[in-house]
Amino acid sequence: MHRQARHAFRKTKRIRSAGAKSLPQKYFVSPEMFAEEQKKIFSKQWLLVGHQSQIPDAGDYVVQQVIGESLIVIRDKSGEIRGFFNVCRHRGTRLKEDACGHASAIQCPYHAWTYGLDGRLIGAPHMDEVPGFDKAEYSLRAVNTGVWEGFIFINLNDGEARLRSEATARQRSGDFISLERWFAPLNGKFSHWNMSILLPAKRIEYDVHANWKLMFENYSECYHCPGVHPQLQKISPYDSAENDLAEGPFLGGFMKINPGKSLTMTGNACGAFVGKIENLQQVFYYSIFPNMLLSMHPEYVMVHQLWPQSPERTLIVCDWFFHPDAFRRKDFNPEDAIEFWDMTNKQDWHVCELSQQGISSRAYKPGPYSSRERIPAAWTNIICALWSAKLGARSREIGLTRSRS
């Protein structure tokens, strides 16, 4: 069993965090720091882009914008999920303009160069008239992709490589870490949710005028719940949080759900259960550095992707997933959960935007965290440790990259 998985749950206020304060203003408003984060965090870490159920068949694809790059994430004929830069190898034209779709091959709209679902160039009109031209040299530029618990991740670090094994990863210079190794601390921890078989019911996107780190902080505490979420607070007491992951890049734990209740508008369960029977009165919340918020309810899983757009703006993509059995039930009512969390999300984003506004003031100074904000304090520690090493070397020490054995 892994080191982190062995951690016992502890009431939030029992987690040690002496004298922690919120981050200084520059972390939330500085364009220079934002650019560095894009370069050193979002270009290097594994980023959530969706779930395998969103591209179930060969040729299904999504187009994802990542730090100014456009990527095609597509399922190939063998069923493998691959990622490519959305850039033609002829004269660079954008290949796919739509956000998602289905294709038997990837054809450039300009001069019709055509690529297989595995990225190989398979058609290039009249290029056989060009001496020395070899199609094999003009495959699409690949991006590292991987699947964890059914969720698709991409990594722009060492972007041209197709790193299939840890052995290959070790041979690469730099701080690339394979997806398997990155998620090794969570091995088996969430397996009873069977997240790889879940199906999507809904996606809602939110354009939030706040720094991405504020959403991580907000997600990591329920100190704000009595005032901000009166509906949530009635079903899930704000002081019931217990955490088992209280340091490092994966943070979180659970909160209690009142007996017989569910986090829905009606307060009733709205689908088939996805978790363990002993978790029927718990909702688990984990943040996965740097762009995933994973919320596991007894009968559904909600996942947020965070995509920073500027120091003061973040695109948040929220998906709801249910067990396949739920879709076959007559009483299946996913909207009951979706509406509940859409309301709760908006309550959260509103206070995050108010925070951003206040933090931008000359009057702002870092303030002390309460005993209910141990996880935001741990999150702040990560960011500070990263920056004290200029987002470089010490990232290994705090678990953002792992030393290689």
* Position 90 contacts ligand FES (CB under 6 A): yes
* Residue 166 Cα distances to 34, 181, 182, 266, angstroms: 31, 8, 11, 47
Considering only residues 348, 359, 375, 387, which one is a binding residue for Fe ion as defined by CB under 5 A?
Answer: 348
Instruction: Give 217 or 319: the residue with its C-beta nearer to Fe ion.
Output: 217
* Position 114 contacts ligand FES (CB under 6 A): no
Considering only residues 91, 94, 346, 404, which one is a binding residue for ligand FES as defined by CB under 6 A?
Answer: 91
Q: Which does 348 bind (CB under 5 to 8 A by kind): Fe ion, ligand FES, none?
A: Fe ion
Residue pair 6/361 in contact (Cβ under 8 Å)? The answer is no
For residue 121, the minimal CB distance to ligand FES (Å) is: 10
SS (H, E, C) 327-357: HHCCCCCHHHHHHHHHHHHHHHHHHHHHHHH
Total length of the chain: 405
* Residue 160 Cα distances to 83, 141, 145, 179, 298, angstroms: 10, 6, 11, 16, 40
Residue pair 170/87 in contact (Cβ under 8 Å)? The answer is no
For residue 110, the minimal CB distance to ligand FES (Å) is: 4
* Position 93 contacts ligand FES (CB under 6 A): yes
**Cis-peptide, bond into residue 311, ω within 30° of zero:** no
For residue 123, the minimal CB distance to ligand FES (Å) is: 10
* Position 327 contacts ligand FES (CB under 6 A): no
**What distance in Å separates the CA atoms of residue 345 and residue 331, rounded to the nearest whole number?**
25
Span from 192-200, 333-341, 344-352, 373-381 in contact with Fe ion (CB under 5 A): 344-352
Considering only residues 66, 71, 108, 245, which one is a binding residue for ligand FES as defined by CB under 6 A?
Answer: 108
For residue 126, the minimal CB distance to ligand FES (Å) is: 11
* Position 15 contacts ligand FES (CB under 6 A): no
Instruction: Give 145 or 218: the residue with its C-beta nearer to Fe ion.
Output: 218
**What distance in Å separates the CA atoms of residue 370 and residue 119, rounded to the nearest whole number?**
51
* Position 88 contacts ligand FES (CB under 6 A): yes
Span from 27-35, 106-114, 171-179, 345-353 in contact with ligand FES (CB under 6 A): 106-114
**What distance in Å separates the CA atoms of residue 299 and residue 274, rounded to the nearest whole number?**
5
| Among candidate residues 293, 298, 295, the one with its CA nearest the CA of residue 270 | 298
For residue 38, the minimal CB distance to Fe ion (Å) is: 26
Left if phi > 0, otherwise alpha if psi is -120 to 50, otherwise beta: which for 222? Answer: alpha
Q: Which does 111 bind (CB under 5 to 8 A by kind): ligand FES, Fe ion, none?
A: ligand FES
**What distance in Å separates the CA atoms of residue 173 and residue 95, rounded to the nearest whole number?**
31
Q: What residues line the site for ligand FES (CB under 6 A)?
A: 88, 90-91, 93, 108, 110-111, 113
